[in-house]
């Protein structure tokens, strides 16, 4: 019997060929102090060795002296030459998993991000340039480099300067980061957003939530460089707004969007310690970035909505993608690229290898000849709510498995009026059951399932 060759994972994204759709998204910097460009590059190259088809380098911002003068002219005196140390601290959030343990729900990220400082900004730019040069020299030719780019305020000049600089240094694609959650959590961000007044700092999703500004920056950058430009979206953007935003980004010349970046939330107070922060070794409780599994529904929403309602722009999916199956799910919803971030933090670089291996095996087992047959496959089943038949082939009702049921009473002690207890056993009034499945969610021992009846 002839040996079946492994299918290719090659995929086209933003007009370029990638050896795999699985890659590594932007993580600000490797965790730790004294991270040299050489050390940063080493971490990125280890992702490549693990099988990543591309890496996203968080290069930050770059501005010419002319642009810096424009920026400083718009800044308040207290905003000039002020900065904060870079870095972050993480706490993990947990959610119950069944009756036996806890699993990671996500992470809260307490970051430090500063205003524009011409001196420290210059140093950070030099570090980024060194990282790009090292990676460019040592990576395989078929691995792409995406540069995650920031700019200052709503002034397109700094984003253009950055994009042109990274293109000059060998970037294959530009990812405009207009969705960073750090800056909206800083002083005056709310007022700046309401007043649409932006001075000399990296604003992230403060300006990323304003379509006119996003469109303007995107258009100017897309005109200035010859490599594909994309925009990184925020999970804070709702369903209807993200469709309109994606259309404007597409029409402004962007070839792709990334969805999603970290969100914004706040850690719960310690209720047994008079409301003090749960952050270790920290004296306050700011709004912070959130990442991890709880971003996955937002990623699914954005990917599906943009693919369906804003065709003509490619999608890179990110946000809470922790397993190879998650990668296939976002691809079936319309993503052509998958950026792993928190998944690597929690599971290590082996997740990249696992995703590549799973994809090849999955394609053979399921009969797919290429990834093109998978991408967007689930779009055909996205219907308007009023068009969905919830009882295909007959009515659906709940059924109790008496061998598993412990008669704990949880399912009969909530909102359901169909389940009741009789002679020590939970019963179902099938005539009135509409198959909603809430009782399945409530059952701690998996004793309830939905079945179809004629």
pLDDT tens, 146-191? 999 988 888 899 899 999 999 999 999 999 999 999 888 888 889 9
Q: What is the CATH number of the domain that holds 408?
A: 3.30.70.20
Q: What is the CATH number of the domain that holds 41?
A: 3.20.20.70
Same domain, 394 and 365: no
Sheet of strand 101-112: strand arrangement: 87-97, 101-112, 287-291, 263-266
Same domain, 366 and 408: no
Contacts of 273 (CB under 8 A, 6+ apart): none
Q: For residue 407, tell me if it sits in a domain.
A: yes
Total domains in the fold of the chain:
2
Same domain, 213 and 275: yes
Same domain, 423 and 370: no
Beta bridge partners of 289: 109, 264
Whole-number average pLDDT of the chain: 89
Q: Give the E-state strand segments of 334-394 in sequence order.
A: 337-340
Same domain, 21 and 69: yes
pLDDT tens profile 104-136: 677 888 775 444 444 444 555 678 899 999 999
Same domain, 402 and 266: no
Same domain, 269 and 188: yes
pLDDT surpassing 60 at residue 80: no
Q: What is the residue whose two structure tokens read 């309830």? A: 448
| Domain-terminating residue out of 337, 365, 381 | 381
3-state secondary structure of 375: coil
Kindly indicate the confidence band of residue 95, based on its pLDDT and cuts at 50, 70 and 90: low
Same domain, 353 and 258: yes
pLDDT attached to residue 390:
82
What are φ and ψ of residue 43, in 5° steps? -60, -45
CA separation for the pair 147, 128 (Å, rounded):
10
Q: For residue 229, tell me if it sits in a domain.
A: yes
Q: For residue 42, tell me if it sits in a domain.
A: yes
Q: For residue 2, tell me if it sits in a domain.
A: no
Same domain, 440 and 311: no
| Domain-terminating residue out of 352, 381, 410 | 381
Kindly indicate the confidence band of residue 201, based on its pLDDT and cuts at 50, 70 and 90: confident
Q: For residue 4, tell me if it sits in a domain.
A: no
Q: For residue 1, tell me if it sits in a domain.
A: no
pLDDT attached to residue 103:
55
3-state secondary structure of 201: strand
| Domain-terminating residue out of 324, 359, 381 | 381
Q: For residue 6, tell me if it sits in a domain.
A: no
Same domain, 17 and 68: yes
Q: What is the rounded (10 degree) CA torsion for 359, 362, 363, 368? A: -130
pLDDT attached to residue 79:
54
pLDDT attached to residue 4:
57
Tokens representing 426 are 């939970």
What domain range includes position 106? 11-381
What's this model's pTM, rounded to 2 decimal places? 0.92
Q: Which of 169, 148, 138 is nearest to 23 (CA)?
A: 148
Same domain, 139 and 164: yes
Of all residues in the chain, the percent with pLDDT exceeding 70 is 90
pLDDT tens profile 26-61: 987 888 888 899 999 999 999 999 999 999 998 778
3-state secondary structure of 380: helix
């Amino acid at each position: 019997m002839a040996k079946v060759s492994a299918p290719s994972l090659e995929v086209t994204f933003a007009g370029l060929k990638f050896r795999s759709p699985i890659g590594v998204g932007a993580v600000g910097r490797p965790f730790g102090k004294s991270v040299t460009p050489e050390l940063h590059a080493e971490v990125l190259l280890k992702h490549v060795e693990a099988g990543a088809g591309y890496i996203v380098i968080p290069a930050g911002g770059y501005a010419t002296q002319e642009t810096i003068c424009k920026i400083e002219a718009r800044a308040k005196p207290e905003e000039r030459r002020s900065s904060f140390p870079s870095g972050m601290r993480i706490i993990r959030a947990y959610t119950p998993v069944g009756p036996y343990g806890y699993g990671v729900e996500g992470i809260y990220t307490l970051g430090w991000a500063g205003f524009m400082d011409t001196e420290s900004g210059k140093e950070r730019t030099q570090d980024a340039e060194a990282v790009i040069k090292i990676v460019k020299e040592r990576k395989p030719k078929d691995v792409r480099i995406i540069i995650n780019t920031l700019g200052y305020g709503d002034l397109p000049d700094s984003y253009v300067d950055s994009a042109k600089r990274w293109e000059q240094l060998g970037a294959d694609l530009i990812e405009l980061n207009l969705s960073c959650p750090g800056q909206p959590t800083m002083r005056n961000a709310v007022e700046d957003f309401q007043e649409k007044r932006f001075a000399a700092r990296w604003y992230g999703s403060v300006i990323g939530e304003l379509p006119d500004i996003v469109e303007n920056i995107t258009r100017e950058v897309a005109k200035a460089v010859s490599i594909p430009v994309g925009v990184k979206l925020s999970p804070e953007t709702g369903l209807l707004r993200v469709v309109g935003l994606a259309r404007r980004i597409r029409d402004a010349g962007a070839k792709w969007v990334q969805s999603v970046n970290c969100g914004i939330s706040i850690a719960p107070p310690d209720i047994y310690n008079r409301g003090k922060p749960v952050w270790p070794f920290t004296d306050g409780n700011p709004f912070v970035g959130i990442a991890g599994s709880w971003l996955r529904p937002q990623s699914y929403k954005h990917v599906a909505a943009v693919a369906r309602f804003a065709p003509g722009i490619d999608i890179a999916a990110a946000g809470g993608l922790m397993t190879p199956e998650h990668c296939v799910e976002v691809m079936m919803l319309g993503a052509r690229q998958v950026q792993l971030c928190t998944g690597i933090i929690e599971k290590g670089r082996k997740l990249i290898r696992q995703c590549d291996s799973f994809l090849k095996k999955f394609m053979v087992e399921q009969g797919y000849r290429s990834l093109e047959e998978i991408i967007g496959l689930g779009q055909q089943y996205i219907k308007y709510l009023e068009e969905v038949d919830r009882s295909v082939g007959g009515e659906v009702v709940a059924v109790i498995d008496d061998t598993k049921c412990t008669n704990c009473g949880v399912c009969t002690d909530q909102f359901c009026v169909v389940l009741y207890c009789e002679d020590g056993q939970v019963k179902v009034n099938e005539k009135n059951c509409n198959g909603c499945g809430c009782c399945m969610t409530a059952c701690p021992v998996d004793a309830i399932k939905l079945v179809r009846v004629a």
